[in-house]
Chain A
Amino acid sequence: MKWPRPAQPMTGPVIPIASESSGSNFDFRLHPPSASLPSHSHSHAIADTPLAVNCFTMSLSSASSTLLRTCARQQLPTSRTASPFASANERGSTLKIPNFSKYQSNKNPRSNQVFSYFMAGTMGLASAVGAKATVQDFLVNMSASADVLAQAKVEIALGAIPEGKNVIIKWRGKPVFIRHRTQGEIDEAREVKWESLRDPQADEDRAQRPEWLVMLGVCTHLGCVPIGEAGDYGGWFCPCHGSHYDISGRIRKGPAPLNLEVPSYQFPEDETLVIG
Chain B
Amino acid sequence: MAGISNVIYQSIIRKNAVFLTTIFAGAFAFEISFDTFSNKVWDSWNAGRQWKDIKPRYLAAAAEEDDE
Contact = CB atoms under 8 A, between A and B. Distances in A.
Interface of A: 107-108, 110-111, 113-115, 117, 121, 124-125, 128-129, 132-133
Nearest to A116: B13
B5 A132 contact: no
A160 to B, nearest CB: 20
A275 B34 CA distance: 40
A117 B6 CA distance: 13
Interface of B: 1-2, 5-6, 8-9, 13, 19-20, 22-24, 26-27, 30-31, 34
B1 A121 contact: no
Given A121-B19, A121-B22, A110 B27 contact: no
Nearest to B6: A110
Nearest to A114: B5
Given A117-B13, A117-B19, A125 B27 contact: yes
A128 B23 contact: yes
A129 B9 contact: no
Nearest to A131: B27
Contacts of B19: 117, 121
A108 B24 contact: no
- Per CB-CB distance, the 10 closest pairs between chain A and chain B, nearest first, are A111-B5, A128-B27, A108-B2, A114-B5, A125-B27, A117-B13, A124-B23, A110-B5, A129-B27, A125-B26
Contact of A121 (B2, B5, B23, B34): B23
B27 A113 contact: no
Contacts of A108: 1-2, 5
A102 to B, nearest CB: 22
Given A110-B5, A114-B13, 4 more contacts: A110-B6, A125-B23, A125-B27, A125-B30
A114 B2 CA distance: 10
A129 B27 CA distance: 6
A124 B27 CA distance: 9
A162 B22 CA distance: 66
Contacts of A111: 1-2, 5
B23 A132 contact: no
Contacts of A110: 2, 5-6, 9
Contacts of A114: 5, 8-9, 13
A108 B9 CA distance: 13
Contacts of B20: 124
B23 to A, nearest CB: 5
B11 to A, nearest CB: 11
A111 B2 CA distance: 6
21 contacts: A107-B1, A108-B1, A108-B2, A110-B2, A110-B5, A110-B6, A110-B9, A111-B2, A111-B5, A113-B5, A114-B9, A117-B9, A121-B13, A121-B19, A121-B26, A125-B23, A125-B26, A128-B24, A129-B27, A129-B30, A129-B34
